[in-house]
Amino acid sequence: LPAPEVSIFQFLFPDTPSDSPVRQFDPELPAYIDGFTGYTLSRRQLKDNALRLATGLRTLGFRRGDVACLWGMNSIPWVEAAYGLLAAGIRITPANYAYEPSEIAHQLNNSGANLILLDPSTLERWEKARAQLDRPIPDEHVLLLAQPGALPAGTPYKSVYDHFGVSPSAPETFNGVQAHETAWQCYSSGTTGLPKGVETTQHNIVAQLQGLAEIYEPLESGKDVILGILPMSHIYGLAIVLLRPLTIGVPVVVLPKYEEHSVLSAVGKYRVTHAPVVPPIVLSLVNSPNVHKYDLSSLKTFLAGAAPMSAELSQAFEKRFPHIAVIQAYGMTETSPVQTAMSAARSKPGSCGQLVAGFTARLVGEDGKDVDLGEPGELWVQGPCVMKGYWKNPEATRKTFSDDGKWFKTGDIMVVDADGFYTVVDRSKELIKYKGFQVAPAELEALLLQHPKVHDAGVIGVWEESQATELPRAYVVAAPDSGVSHEHAHQHHSFIEEIKAWVASRVANHKKLRGGIAVIEVIPKSPSGKILRKDLRVRAKTE
Ligand code: AYL
């Protein structure tokens, strides 16, 4: 069934049931629950508040197609702001909470955001970022994600709730939002280079929500409860924590991050049944000495995604927690996001599931031909969830599709079995995944080159079994006048510590060089100057 040509907001809250195939639930059902305070937002409040905020933003002068940056940890105000922006048809560019000033400034400059909604805890970083903007954002366009009574003393900014229109416009006012307009702009490096704005349309998401209905773990309104710890600023949290639960009438317990005590306590308190996570969380629970202190009896499924998870890890988890099934899904920011998924009833350990409805897939070998069944090939896909393209970057957009423009090339090497279960076996792209977060080697390399003592640099990911994740590792060539030679290992320690700290103070937590730094003579490169990361990977294995 093709997805309807409506906006996300209309799909979720249709004016008349015939507008949308989404089942409508009792408006008094809980939609989002604050995992710390228990404060609960019903579906009706969510919709009303979204329309109020949309009206308020219109009054402030914002129009469809404007760009707003949402910057904060998961919270009820973040959720309300997102739905208000959706109702108003304002493009949302969500930013990672941990960003340092230059990182957020880059996203604001690149996206052209003229409205920023931020968590008060980011204010210190925001003031520093502000000095780096190409185009200033006036104070009236900076809204804090907190109740007016909870704003920091002396702040020049208003609360997002100050802009709840007095009398919300009727939904029809906002129905001009077109299905093929961009709804979200997350940042992803894709297969190569620096992070780029991914233009995810309203229709991409509507098609995804519809596609997931058929294959994902089926959840039941009134029975199931979803854990909302994955950052909603990342496409995984956006699709699975922020949006999908509304389509199935299931509440989300919102928490800012994975922290064992607060999360496991909330699981017991709110009888959470389904937990979307990343593989390192699965591992930490397998190894945790504390789990007996919590009531985890309500849990039925753990969904792992965004990074590889071995069959051994999922089996170790199911051995320790026999009443919980671990299922896996696979996706990409560029594909809105889930391409393959499984349910507890239809699963295969180590695999990331079967194709989501709407996608057509091929596995293509290095010769450009489809591989035989069971052979590894790069996953190419097409369908209504594939992004419009990279924002203001037609060159990168063109390169990420096949020459005929018809197939999106994922850069992931997969095998598929006769039952249609896909398994990721390798990655042909540059990307590093630290606990599900993207780390673009090109970004760290460009940063390292700014250090006066660094002459050249190459960054790769190294697998760390004890944490079930890759770690970013740098190879650097010291500048001739740095007083450091690759031959004199005794000089390396303080040089490495200096570089490590220098990088750490400039990047978000997940980009830190946790895989270490090695001083080498020369970065291996192809005749055209491309870093031969394969050679660095071979080197890392022998170190
Ligand atoms: P991005 N196994 C192995 N690698 C994976 C998996 C997986 N299950 N899922 C994602 N990746 C890698 O844009 C892969 O290299 O989106 C892919 O190209 O940050 C890259 O991560 C994309 O990174 C889910 C499950 C969303 C997954 C996602 C995708 C989020 C990651 C919802 O339920």
Q: pLDDT for 116-172, tens place per residue? A: 999 999 999 999 999 999 999 999 999 999 999 999 999 999 999 999 987 766 665
The pLDDT confidence band at residue 49, using thresholds 50, 70 and 90, is very high
CB atoms within 10 A of CB 527: 5
Give me ligand 1 centre to Cα 355, in Å. Answer: 14
Q: Measured in Å, how far apart are the chain's first and last C-alpha atoms? A: 53
Alpha-carbon distances of 80 from 43, 86, 96, rounded to whole Å: 11, 10, 18
DSSP H helical segments within 117-259, as ranges?
123-130, 202-215, 235-237, 244-248
Using the mean position of ligand 1's atoms as its centre, give its distance from the Cα of residue 412 in Å.
10
- Residue burial 408-444, b: 16+ Cβ < 10 Å; e: rest: bbbbbbbbbeeeebbbbeebebbbbbbbbbbbbbbbb
Q: State the pLDDT at residue 246.
A: 96
The more confidently predicted of residues 57 and 16 is 57
pLDDT for 395-441, tens place per residue? 999 999 999 999 999 999 999 999 999 999 999 999 999 999 999 99
Strand partners, 304: 277, 328
Q: Which atom of ligand 1 is nearest to the CA of 216?
A: 33
Residue 171 tokens read as 């939904």
Q: Is the CB of 359 under 6 A from ligand 1?
A: no
Q: How far is the CA of 331 from the centre of ligand 1 (A)?
A: 4
Which structure tokens are listed for 165?
A: 């229109």
So what's the pLDDT on residue 175?
A: 64
Atom 5 of ligand 1 has which residue's CA nearest to it?
307
Q: How many Å lie between the centroid of ligand 1 and the Cα of residue 305? A: 6
pLDDT at 454: 98
Atom in ligand 1 nearest the alpha carbon of residue 276: 33
Cβ(185) to ligand 1 under 6 A?
no
- Classify the C-alpha dihedral 429-430-434-440 as positive or negative: negative
Q: What pTM was computed for the model?
A: 0.97
Q: Among 78-87, 352-361, 482-491, whose mean pLDDT is lowest?
A: 482-491
Question: What is the Cα–Cα distance from 317 to 437, expressed in whole angstroms?
Answer: 22
How many angstroms separate the CA atoms of 477 and 61, rounded? 51
* Distance from residue 439's CA to the centre of ligand 1 (Å): 13
Ligand 1 proximity of 302 Cβ (cutoff 6 Å): no
Q: Whose CA is nearest to atom 15 of ligand 1?
A: 412
Q: Which ligand 1 atom sits closest to the C-alpha of 334? A: 13
Q: Which helix (H) or strand (E) holds 424?
A: strand 422-427
pLDDT at residue 22 greater than cutoff 90: no
**What's the 534 CA to ligand 1 centre distance in angstroms?**
21
Is 232's pLDDT higher than 80? yes
What average pLDDT does the segment 181-195 reach?
A: 97
pLDDT surpasses 80 at 174: no
Q: Which class for 277: exposed (0-12), middle (13-18), buried (19 or more C-beta within 10 A)?
A: buried
Smallest CA separation from ligand 1 atom 22, residue: 332
Report the percentage of the chain scoring pLDDT > 90. 92
- How far away, in angstroms, is 436 Cα from ligand 1 center? 7
Q: Which of 234, 241, 181 is nearest to 209 (CA)?
A: 241
